[in-house]
Amino acid sequence: MATDRRDFLKTAGAVGSIAAAGAAFAGGGSTAHGAPTARSGPKGMARGLTLLTLKKGGEFRLGVKTEHGVLDVKEAAGILRLPAPATLDDLLQNEDGPALQALVEAALSAKSAKTAFVKEDAVEYGPLVSRPEKIVCVGLNYRKHAEETHSPVPQWPVLFNKFNGALNRHNGTVKLPTDVATQFDYEVELVIVIGAHARSVSEADALSCVAGYATGNDFTARDLQSGRGGQWMVGKAIDQFAPIGPYLVTADQVDPDRLQIECRVNGETRQSSNTSDLIFSTRQMVSYISRFFALKPGDVIFTGTPAGVIVGMPKEKQVWLKAGDKIACSVEKLGELRFELV
Ligand code: ZN
The answer to whether residues 152 and 110 belong to one domain is no
Higher pLDDT pick, 66 / 16 = 66
Is residue 49 assigned to a domain?
yes
**Mean of the per-residue pLDDT values of the chain:** 90
The answer to whether residues 90 and 160 belong to one domain is no
CA of 145 to the centre of ligand 1 (A): 10
CA of 95 to the centre of ligand 1 (A): 28
CA distances from 100 to 18, 63, 180, 182 (A): 20, 10, 44, 44
Is residue 128 assigned to a domain?
no
pLDDT for the residue 229: 80
Is residue 127 assigned to a domain?
no
CATH classification of the domain holding 204:
3.90.850.10
> Torsions phi, psi of 308, nearest 5?
115, 5
CA of 305 to the centre of ligand 1 (A): 5
CA of 220 to the centre of ligand 1 (A): 8
Is residue 314 assigned to a domain?
yes
CA atoms within 13 A on the CB side of 155: 0
Q: Is the pLDDT of residue 121 over 80?
A: yes
CA of 303 to the centre of ligand 1 (A): 7
Residues of the chain with pLDDT > 90: what percent? 86
CA of 160 to the centre of ligand 1 (A): 9
The domain total for the chain is 2
CA of 302 to the centre of ligand 1 (A): 7
pLDDT digits (tens, 9 = 90+) for 53-105: 999 989 999 999 999 999 999 999 999 999 999 999 999 999 999 999 999 99
CA of 186 to the centre of ligand 1 (A): 9
Q: Give the range among 12-26, 74-88, 199-213, 270-284 with minimum mean pLDDT.
A: 12-26
CA of 162 to the centre of ligand 1 (A): 11
Q: Is the pLDDT of residue 12 over 50?
A: no
The answer to whether residues 253 and 176 belong to one domain is yes
Which among 122, 146, 172 is the end of a domain? 122
Segments forming the whole domain that contains residue 162: 135-341
CA of 327 to the centre of ligand 1 (A): 15
Output Rg (C-alpha) for the chain, integer angstroms. Answer: 20
Higher pLDDT pick, 9 / 137 = 137
CA of 216 to the centre of ligand 1 (A): 10
The answer to whether residues 207 and 70 belong to one domain is no
Mean pLDDT value of segment 108-124: 97
CA of 254 to the centre of ligand 1 (A): 21
The answer to whether residues 39 and 113 belong to one domain is yes
CA of 211 to the centre of ligand 1 (A): 21
The answer to whether residues 117 and 142 belong to one domain is no
CA of 36 to the centre of ligand 1 (A): 40
CA dist., res. 276 & res. 316, Å (int): 31
CA of 189 to the centre of ligand 1 (A): 7
Q: Give the range among 19-28, 33-42, 73-82 with minimum mean pLDDT.
A: 19-28
CA dist., res. 120 & res. 178, Å (int): 34
Which among 94, 122, 150 is the end of a domain? 122
Mean pLDDT value of segment 27-45: 59
pTM here is: 0.89
Detail the DSSP E strand segments found in 218-256. Answer: 220-221, 242-243, 248-250
CA of 141 to the centre of ligand 1 (A): 8
Which among 122, 154, 188 is the end of a domain? 122
The answer to whether residues 177 and 83 belong to one domain is no
The answer to whether residues 279 and 258 belong to one domain is yes
CA of 89 to the centre of ligand 1 (A): 23
Mean pLDDT value of segment 146-154: 92
pLDDT for the residue 227: 84
CA of 190 to the centre of ligand 1 (A): 10
CA dist., res. 191 & res. 245, Å (int): 9
CA of 23 to the centre of ligand 1 (A): 35
9 pLDDT band (50/70/90 cuts)? very low
Q: Is the pLDDT of residue 21 over 90?
A: no
Is residue 34 assigned to a domain?
yes
CA of 244 to the centre of ligand 1 (A): 13
The answer to whether residues 101 and 162 belong to one domain is no
The answer to whether residues 286 and 181 belong to one domain is yes
pLDDT for the residue 315: 94
Is residue 324 assigned to a domain?
yes
pLDDT for the residue 37: 53
Mean pLDDT value of segment 22-51: 62
Mean pLDDT value of segment 221-226: 95
The answer to whether residues 273 and 334 belong to one domain is yes
Q: Is the pLDDT of residue 29 over 80?
A: no
33 pLDDT band (50/70/90 cuts)? very low
Q: Which of 273, 268, 240 is nearest to 328 (CA)?
A: 268
39 pLDDT band (50/70/90 cuts)? low
CA dist., res. 178 & res. 182, Å (int): 6
CA dist., res. 86 & res. 214, Å (int): 20
The answer to whether residues 180 and 243 belong to one domain is yes
